Every structure is written in structure tokens, then in C-alpha cells.
Structure 1
Amino acid sequence: MNTKPFALAILALSIQSSAFAISAKYAQQLDRSGCTQISEGQGCDITKTKAENAKAGFVNEAAAPAPQAKPTAANPYAGQWVAKSDSGATVATIRIDAKEHVWVNGKKVKAKRSDGGLMFKTGTITFRIQGDRRLQGEDVWNDSDAGTKGQIVSE
């Protein structure tokens, strides 16, 4: 029996990368629970309600909203942003103040200007917001682990 084709098939299947997509049911669970894909990985339980997850410290609904920074020519990144999946589900909420301090889902992250944009990372997700606001559709996120990506929109 020739085992070479069989071994090659097994090898090909083990190397094949998986593509992950967010389903409508999963998006509904995230919305109901107040979790995001990132906070779920940090322990937010999508089977619980927003109130239960807020008690556990994952949903910050009760906090007073921070004053909104307005984009300027010197800082086009300031404001509230939302990273969305292809299905429209929220992957992360992003807040950038006038001094380019960045918070992703309420947690402060380091950011740096790079190649005309502001880049920052949390977990396996890299975010990039384009500095030239005339360019549309270039504010993006990419999850290197799951192989997913999507748009970042200003609120």
C-alpha cells in the first residue's frame, strides 16, 4: 500500500489555517452580555446579562462618559471609535484623548504614530487609525490569531 499520498493529505489538513467568522447568534450573545470579543477572552461571560458582567467588572455602563475629545489638525485621532466585524458586531470600543492616550474597552494601551497613522495593539488584535481623515476605509483592525479583520468607525 502506498502511504505517501495519505501522509501528504494528513499533513495538508494539519497545516491548513482556520478561518473564523462571527455568527449572528454569537453577535447577539455579545450584545446581550455587554461583552466584546476581546473582553470575552479576558473572562467576560457571554451567557450572562450586561448587569451580571458589569458586576464582575467587564461592562462599564454605569460610569459617566468621559468628555469627548474633538479631532483637530494636530490630532485627527481624538474621539470615540468602534471596531466592527464584517457582520456589524462590535469587536472593541476605542477612546482616544487629545494627547493621543488610547483606551480599548476601558483599558489603557500604548499607541504610536507609524506611517501616517496611529497604531496600537491589545492581545492578538492590532488597530490602525489613519491620520489623513480625507482617506476613507483605511481605519482597520486585524486579529493575527483568528485571521479576521474589519473596519474601525468614528462615533
Structure 2
Amino acid sequence: MTRSTSLLSVLLLLSACSATSPEGDPVNALTEQFSRATTQVPAFGGVTFDGDRPVVFTLGSKSEAEPAARSIFGTNVVVRERPAFGGGSEALKGQVTQLLLGAVRDAQTTDYDETTGYVRLGVLTADAVRDAYRVMDDIDFPTENVIVQVQAPIMLY
């Protein structure tokens, strides 16, 4: 009986591992790529989609950001420039918080970045990036002042 229980435990463990593995899952792979872009693209200015293509924004010139973005996404990525300083504010941060936190699954943080003049929205997945823009676009919200970035989950201990 112990051998059967051990075999069953191993099978359950293997099935759980394969069910959560990001390999071959384009959504999880894209989430990981967006997360890498947040930390590895110089002058990172957010992510979005153009149809199904990932878009990486850069604050200012895209010449330094393009090689990093292409190393993460390959040639399928679009790199777009934003002004180095945005038109965000604490008030806009409050609007983003009210509009998106709780309404968009996996949206977890908002912050007004005084050094860049943008409101930052932290999400957990590539799907949340798409959903956040959908919600903002539905009401003509000024997305040009919002940096959407994929970040690690906040762990409360």
C-alpha cells in the first residue's frame, strides 16, 4: 500500500508541475517577457498591445531601448517613444486607482512617479495589461499619462 501511495503522490506532483509550467503557454511567456521589459529596457515607459503584438514604450529616445526590447521579445515587438516627462499627477493616480484596482483582475498597485511625471499601474499578467487598457479606452481615459508595467506579486507576511 505504501508503494501505491508513493506512486500516486509522485503522479500528482508531476501533474501539478506540468499544469503550472509556463513553457509552451504564450500568455505566461508574454507575462514573463513584459516583466523582464519592466526591469531591463532602458528608460522603460510601459507596455501595451498593438493587436496581438507587444508594444514597449520608452521615455524619450527609443534607440537604447530597441536592442533590449528585441532581445526579450524578438522581432515581433513594437517600440514607441513617449515624452521623457508625462502629464500625470496625484489626482490622476487617484482616478487610476479608483477605476482599475478591483475592476481589473491582477491589477495590484498604482503610484505617481514624480521623477517621470507618469502614473504607474502595476499588474501581474499580460492579460491584465490588455484588460487595463480596455477599461481605460472604454471611457477615453488619458492613457498617455499612465505607465502599465508587469511586476512581481506583492507578498504580505
TM-score normalised per structure 1: 0.32
**Per chain length, whose mean CA-contact separation is higher, i.e. which structure has more relative contact order (CA < 8 Å, sep 6+)?**
2
